[in-house]
Amino acid sequence: MNKYSVAELKEASVEQLKTICENLRSDIYQTVSACGGHLSSNLGAVELTVALHRVFHFPNDKIIFDVGHQCYTHKLLTGRADKFHTLRKEGGLSGFPKREESVYDCYDTGHAGTALSAALGIGKARDLKKEDFNVIALIGDGSFQNGLIYEALNSLKILNTNILIILNDNGMSISPTVGGAHEVLQELKGEQKPLEDIALFERFGLKYMGIVNGNDFEELLPALEEAKERLKSETVLLHVVTKKGQGYPFSENAPMQTHSVGPKVKNKEYSSALGEELSLLAEKNEKIVAVTAAMTDSLGLRTFFERYPTRSFDVGICEEHASVLCAALATQGLKPYYAIYSTFLQRAFDEIIHDICGQDLPVTFCVDRGGATGADGETHQGVFDLSYLSFIPNLTIAVPKNISEFREMLRLSANYMHPLAIRYPREGTEGDTEPFEIGKFEVLHSTMSDIVIFAAGERCLNLAFSLKEKLSERYGKDVSIVNARFLKPLDQGLLISRREKLVVTLEDNVRVGGLGSAIADFYRNSCKKVLTFGYMDKFLPHGEVASLMEKYGLGQEYILEEIIKHASR
């Protein structure tokens, strides 16, 4: 009982196609309104996706959606309409392409810039296996700023396989697209396309086709047919212009605000605190500059960027370049703040080591969306950062207990002259904090009990306090609770001073390599027993954060049991 049929598409008149698009749009709109998700990017790509399904034959032909913010129509058309109301819900459809979900999804995406490399690999494998199908990479113009795309373009002539690259140009990444590559695309949209702009692409060994209005079947269908024909003998880049938010004026007019529509956050966002504090600090300290990779708004830095335009840099989806830029600015005595989501900071891993920590430079990483992030699933969970940062020399790692402590950490960072990473989740409570020094833990509850819990971050401290309650209710046991707000350096003085025999650690991160490992390592030659809790060795799917914690290693009952088991030994 699938609402949409590809077979139908193949027969339908353009008028009928338009009706189908209306239905798709309203399904997307209704579902995203209910489940949250990526609205404007998906609304813009409806006609394009329908046209692709009309002209090509999936799953025999393969399509890779770069990032995946445009795959909803594809999901609706490929047997997932009846499940579409479960989008991004636990156990329901993923918001991104997933091979496990459907044979129509041939490659998982989530981070920017992978689609071209992936398409080349699939195309090359096809050639080696002497198979015959078309490979399509659907890539937004935002991703064309990313180095990975360039590396793939550079290898077109090396790999020498024919694929169709569809550049879906809506002039936006999550923020408006910026930089030289963007200006080239803008020019191509002008009255007469400068030949050298076309050449910019064709030098790499492909045929440029465009501009095509991606919201108009009259233009789109013949263009795709032509591209399909050319594809037999060459790689084609089809430059399609679409309107982000197409069909919903409120979204067309506010594509940034409607790029990602989430169930509203219940609490305050750490990102707004970042914008507020950094703006205050920048007033007193003109050395402070802010750098982002195409996510100024989501990171809370819009007002900072408006107040300090000469000291604000959005370099586009270029996480590596942003890191080196920060390192270089710091060599000249400036104080760069690099705000980025935990999962995207993975892209700058080498530069964190090689450029920033290797030169011991005073760059502050504001690592947002740390810990489980929920509905976006595997590719967006921020659960590795404490592990991949903890062993890097010269780096200090801070995890605030609430927003007020986050503000204090930012104030401390202003005079700190080494690399520093402050890691925080999307939302939390303002709370309060006392002044403190870098490397100092905070005892939040102290008793004569034999159990102490070290927890990092607001979520895990809340968990610690609820564990404390349950322990006293059920077992008449009390526990001490410590805010382990610095993973590196550890508060050795405090750790040495603790008398408890049973040490429990809680962190919103994979269990291995973060806070627990550090504290267990510190106590390795003591007679203490250390129980470390964090996420298990699995990729966390999409779902509510609370439920992910419950199911994947930070479940309250499970931890209680473990504590009791070891406490009573």
> For a second copy, which is the closer residue by CB, 262 or 541?
541
Selected range binding a second copy among 35-43, 404-412, 434-442, 530-538, rule: CB under 8 A: 530-538
What pairing do the DSSP bridges indicate for beta strands 480-483 and 442-445?
Answer: antiparallel
Site for a second copy in 188-207 (CB under 8 A): 194-197, 199-200, 202-205
**Size, binding site for a second copy by CB under 8 A:** 108
> What is the distance between the alpha carbons of residues 419 and 417, in angstroms, rounded to a whole number?
7
Question: Exactly one of 347, 369, 401, 528 is catalytic; which is it?
Answer: 347
To the query of whether residue 269 is one of the catalytic residues in this protein, the response is no
511: three-class secondary structure by DSSP: coil
The residue (of 50 and 318) whose beta carbon lies closer to a second copy is 318
Q: What is the dihedral of CA 540, 544, 548, 554, to 10 degrees?
A: 140
Cis before 489 (ω within 30): yes
Shortest distance in whole angstroms from residue 509 CB to a second copy: 9
- Minimum distance of a second copy from residue 530's CB (angstroms): 6
Q: Point out the catalytic residue in the list 25, 126, 244, 407.
A: 244
20-59 binders of a second copy (CB under 8 A) = none
Site residues (CB under 8 A) for a second copy, limited to 368-397: 378-379, 384, 387-388, 390-394
Structure tokens at 258: 């409607």
Restricted to residues 127-156, the positions that interact with a second copy (CB under 8 A) are: 128-129, 145-156
- 244 in catalytic set: yes
Q: Which of residues 453-512 bind a second copy (CB under 8 A)?
A: 510, 512
Ranges assigned E (strand) in 66-178: 135-140, 164-169
Site for a second copy in 282-341 (CB under 8 A): 289, 310-311, 313-316, 318, 320-321, 324-329, 331-334
C-beta of 43 vs 357, nearer to a second copy = 357
Q: CB of residue 11 vs a second copy: minimum separation in angstroms? A: 31
Answer for which of 14, 103, 158, 417 binds a second copy (CB under 8 A) is: 158
Which CB, 12 or 520, lies closer to a second copy? Answer: 520
186 lies in the binding site for a second copy (CB under 8 A): no
Contact 440, 484 (CB under 8 A): no
Give, as ranges, the residues between 166 and 185 that touch a second copy (CB under 8 A).
Answer: 178-184
Residue 196 beta carbon to a second copy: minimum distance, rounded to whole angstroms? 3
The amino acid that residue 196 corresponds to is E
Contact 295, 286 (CB under 8 A): no
Angle formed by the axes of helices 14-35 and 217-230, to 10°? Answer: 100
The residue from 319, 408, 500, 507 that is catalytic is: 319
Taking the complex as a whole, the smallest distance from the CB of residue 539 to a second copy amounts, in Å, to 5
52-111 binders of a second copy (CB under 8 A)? 99, 106-108, 110-111
Indicate if 191 belongs to the active site. no
Question: Which pairing describes strands 236-241 and 164-169: parallel, antiparallel, or unpaired?
Answer: parallel
What are the C-alpha distances in Å from 395 to residues 333, 364, 390, 507?
Answer: 18, 10, 8, 19
Closest of 255, 319, 320 to residue 41, by C-alpha: 255
Are 390 and 513 spatial neighbours (Cβ–Cβ below 8 Å)?
yes
CA distances from 497 to 439, 488, 493, 494 (A): 15, 18, 6, 5
Smallest gap, in angstroms, from Cβ of residue 126 to a second copy?
Answer: 7
| Beta-sheet pairing, 451-455 with 480-483 | parallel
147's CB contacts (< 8 A; 6+ apart) are 113, 318, 320, 321
Least Cβ distance, residue 245 to a second copy (angstroms): 25
Among 17-25, 46-54, 412-420, 520-528, which window interacts with a second copy (CB under 8 A)? Answer: 520-528
Active site residues: 244, 319, 347
